[in-house]
């Protein structure tokens, strides 16, 4: 069986092959610069599906993932200057819009 480049990339990012076939969604950790009042929208600019949205909050605009729009492509992961974005497989029973 051959793997697509995108699947290989997911396996590399996840570091485990067992989860590679599960639907993946991006998540943003508290390390995000925007959560600390530092302007950054690099992830939004890298996301072709528009899954990363910013909303106004105290101190500036902060990102969130619109999970139903995230296709798990991982394009946002390498552009984050503080490695605050990671992909994770959906848990059993979880849906992208949960």
CA distance 84 to 28: 6
Closer CB to ligand SF4, 17 or 49, in the complex: 49
Q: Which of 9, 14, 20, 76 binds ligand SF4 (CB under 6 A)?
A: 76
Q: Which of 9, 10, 20, 72 binds ligand SF4 (CB under 6 A)?
A: 72
The count of C-alpha atoms lying within 13 angstroms of the C-alpha of 46, restricted to the half-sphere facing its C-beta, is: 17
Residue span binding ligand SF4 (CB under 6 A) among the ranges 4-12, 14-22, 43-51, 90-98: 43-51
The count of C-alpha atoms lying within 13 angstroms of the C-alpha of 13, restricted to the half-sphere facing its C-beta, is: 24
Q: Which of 9, 14, 20, 40 binds ligand SF4 (CB under 6 A)?
A: 40
CA distance 1 to 93: 28
């Amino acid at each position: 069986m051959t793997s697509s480049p995108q699947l290989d990339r997911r396996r590399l990012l996840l570091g485990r092959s067992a989860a590679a076939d599960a639907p993946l969604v991006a998540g943003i950790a508290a390390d995000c610069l925007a959560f600390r009042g530092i302007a950054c929208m690099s992830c939004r600019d890298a996301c072709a599906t528009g899954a990363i949205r910013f909303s106004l909050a105290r101190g500036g605009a902060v990102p969130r993932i619109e999970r139903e729009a995230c296709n798990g492509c991982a394009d946002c992961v390498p552009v984050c200057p503080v490695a605050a974005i990671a992909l994770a497989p959906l848990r059993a029973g979880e849906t992208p819009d949960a």
